[in-house]
Structure 1
Amino acid sequence: MNHVDNPLLGPLSRADFITANVPLVYAITNRYDRRVRDDAAGEGMVGLITAYDRYSDANIAFSTYATFCIRAQIAAYFRKNSGPGRIPNRVYPLARRIMSDGLEAAPPEVVAETYAVTVKAASKALAAVRSRGSAELADWTDGGRRDDTSELYVDEFVVQLKSSQQRIVGALLGGQRMADIAREMSVSKQALHSSVTLIRKRWQAYEESCA
């Protein structure tokens, strides 16, 4: 099967570009526990190839989009091999931090040391994360204010969005303010808020479908 080079990604051929970006996969998967690191890296390579083939918006840095795709592919692998489930409220805060930092496959001892919690608490949170899968999104607003949008954690969900929505998510992930994003995208604040609201609704539906 012949694969077409992506014209948005410079003069390198598809094979050479993907090879040149393999370190991005290892940068993500090297933090994983050794017992699953090879599997995670293998899935990450699939995600990198997917990112190359699907990349279509030069306003989003390829590394940002590729990170989404790599994490999405790994998350899908863990979800498939661990089964669905809800994260209990008592461990949710720690589980969310684990997912946000990409430590889903880390040993309990590493998680415990990283967050200054007991190994037992780390084990419970890791078990919850792995049973739920690693798709999670942080709060959409900063303290309830709609002008300052805080961190977005994304993985499988973001690759399903339209390119303009991915651009919004990428900007939010980079810490940009809503007003700055609206200006860069040449849209009104109201239009941007409407887009964010739509993405939120899609996320809620996506989360329910994964439960």
Structure 2
Amino acid sequence: MNVYPDNPLLGPRSEFITANLGLAHKAAQRFRGACYATNTPLDDIISEGYVGLIRAYDGYSDPTYEFATYATETINGYMRNYFRRGTGPVRIPKEITPIVNRLARAGLEGEAPETVAQELGISVRLAEKALYCATVRNCGDMPADDKRGNTDDYSGVFADAFLARLRPKPRRIVRLLTEGYTQTEAAKAIGITSQAVSQTVKRVRAEYERYERIPA
């Protein structure tokens, strides 16, 4: 009996995973800044990404959803959890939030602290904190709708326990928005209207607010 069966939608396990290792390498580039800030070897993050890739191969079951997108979400989750395991849940301090948002808008999340400091006109130490928070943030309030479709403020990463409660489509929308997609881009990726995405965001925000009020 094969302990690790092949996924019939993807083909032979070993060959498919080997052919897609590049997804883990590509995803790891988003975490370079956090690696610099925490003295974490990038190879460690890539290895964690390999685990995420394997889990994505095992869990993939929807042929209408592109595997690369599904796998990237899973890989990113494993990489974020690598940092969280050493810190526990993290909330971004109010004074750091604007810097984290500026960092995201400038596309500097994968850069070294020195580069971020120079580009944003802040100290290297503050850049390190912002890069670290951008990676390990665990939960945050969903922003108000942006009529322009801008998702700069969708930088909060929701608690995994909450995401697990959502149905597949809302969870996919949240994942795409936290990855930097605009509402319009998320709608196109999933094959629904921008209005449907906006309505889903409102419902998820309300659910999250109720979830936050539930005693642990």
Q: TM-score, normalised by structure 1?
A: 0.69
Deviations 1:98-132 (A, max 9, x none): 5685837x5421322454433232133235456xx
Q: Contact conserved, 1:95 with 1:125, CA < 8 A, in 2?
A: yes
Answer yes or no: is 1:111 the counterpart of 2:116.
yes
1:68/1:129 CA distance change after superposition, 3 Å: same
Answer yes or no: is 1:141 the counterpart of 2:148.
no
| Identity within the alignment, % | 34
RMSD over aligned Cα, in angstroms?
3.9
Q: In structure 2, how many angstroms separate the alpha carbons of the residues matched to 1:171 and 1:126?
A: 20
Q: TM-score, normalised by structure 2?
A: 0.68
Q: In structure 1, how many angstroms separate the alpha carbons of the residues matched to 2:212 and 2:104?
A: 15
Answer yes or no: is 1:177 the counterpart of 2:184.
yes
Q: Aligned residues, how many?
A: 197
Structure 2 residue matching 1:199: 3-state secondary structure = helix
Question: How far is 1:177 from its partner?
Answer: 3.0
1:83/1:169 CA distance change after superposition, 3 Å: closer
Matches within 5 A, 1:29-68: 29-30=28-29, 32=32, 33=35, 35-36=39-40, 37-68=42-73
Answer yes or no: is 1:4 the counterpart of 2:8.
no
What 5-or-longer segments of structure 2 have no aligned partner?
none
Q: Contact conserved, 1:75 with 1:156, CA < 8 A, in 2?
A: no
Question: How far is 1:91 from its partner?
Answer: 1.0
1:206/1:199 CA distance change after superposition, 3 Å: same
Q: In structure 2, how many angstroms separate the alpha carbons of the residues matched to 1:88 and 1:109?
A: 21
Q: In structure 2, how many angstroms separate the alpha carbons of the residues matched to 1:25 and 1:60?
A: 19
Q: In structure 1, how many angstroms separate the alpha carbons of the residues matched to 2:145 and 2:55?
A: 30
